[in-house]
Amino acid sequence: MEDSFRSPRAKRSAAANGGGSFKRSKPPPPLTVAAGHVLFRLLCPLPLSGGVIGKSGAIVKQLQQDTAAKIRVEESPPGCDERIIVIIASSSVNKKIALKASKQGGEEMDEVIEVSAAQEALIRVFERVVEVAVETDGVAAEKEGGVPCRLLAESSQVGGVIGKGGKVIGKIRQDTGCKIRVLSSEKLPSCALQNDELIEVRPSL
C-alpha cells in the first residue's frame, strides 16, 4: 500500500482556490511512499538551498543516484526562511557507511555503522547542508554548536522518539553525545503542516 505526501504549498494552493488549480504556479505532484519505505523532512535554511540543489539540479541528482532515494527540495511560502527537503527511500537496514567520530582528546576516527537507504540519504543531504554553510559563512557555521539538524515529524510519531519518561531520547543523547530537543509549536516554521512538531539535533560543545 502506498501513501502520498503533498507539500504544504500544494495544499495551501488548492485550498486558496477552492480545491482547484493554482494559477500563479503549478504545485508539484504528490510524492508516493511505497510499502517498506520511509519519508524524512529535513529543514534547510533558504540561503543554503541552492547549494544543495546545484546548477540545474546537478547535486541533488547525484545524491539521488548515490543513495537510491527520492529527494525533492520544496518551495516555501512567502516569508519563510527555510525550505523542506523531502527524502523517501527504503527503510531496510542493509548498508554500511563510515562516519567521522570524535574520541576523547579530540582525535577523529571513522566509525562504520549500518543504515537504511533512507538514513544514508538523510545523512548525505545534511552533510551537504553543512558543507554549503561552511563554504558560505566559514567560521560562522561553527558558532552556537554548529549547524543544527532540524527535522519535521508528525505529532503522532514524536512520542516514539521521546519514549516513556524520555527514555528513548535520553538513550540517543547518551549514545551520540548530541543535544536533542522537541521544540514547542511556536518554533515551527510556516512551511510546516498543522500537526507537525520540530526535532532539533545539535552537537554538544
Tell me the pLDDT tens digit for each residue of 37-59. 999 999 999 999 999 999 999 99
Structure-block grid coordinates of residue 35:
510499502
Cα distance between the two ends of the chain: 44
Q: Specify the pLDDT at position 196.
A: 95
Q: Which CATH architecture has domain 3-144?
A: 2-Layer Sandwich (3.30)
**What pairs with residue 88 in β-bridges?**
39, 70
Grid cell for residue 195: 500537526
Q: How many angstroms from the chain centroid is the CA of residue 60?
A: 14
CB count within 10 Å of CB 149 equals 19
Residue 15 clears pLDDT 60, i.e. is over it: no
Angle at which helix 155-162 crosses helix 167-176, to 10 degrees, equals: 60
pLDDT at 20: 43
Q: How far apart are CA 103 and CA 87, in angstroms?
A: 30
**114 C-beta neighbours (distance < 10 Å), count:** 10
CB atoms within 10 A of CB 202: 16
Q: Mean pLDDT score of the chain, rounded to an integer?
A: 85
Q: What is the pLDDT of residue 137?
A: 74
Place of cell 527520492: 70
120-179 confidence digits (pLDDT tens): 999 999 999 999 998 887 655 555 557 899 999 999 999 999 999 999 999 999 988 899
Helices (H), the chain: 8-16, 46-53, 58-67, 117-137, 155-162, 167-176
For the chain, which residues make up each domain, given as ranges? 3-144
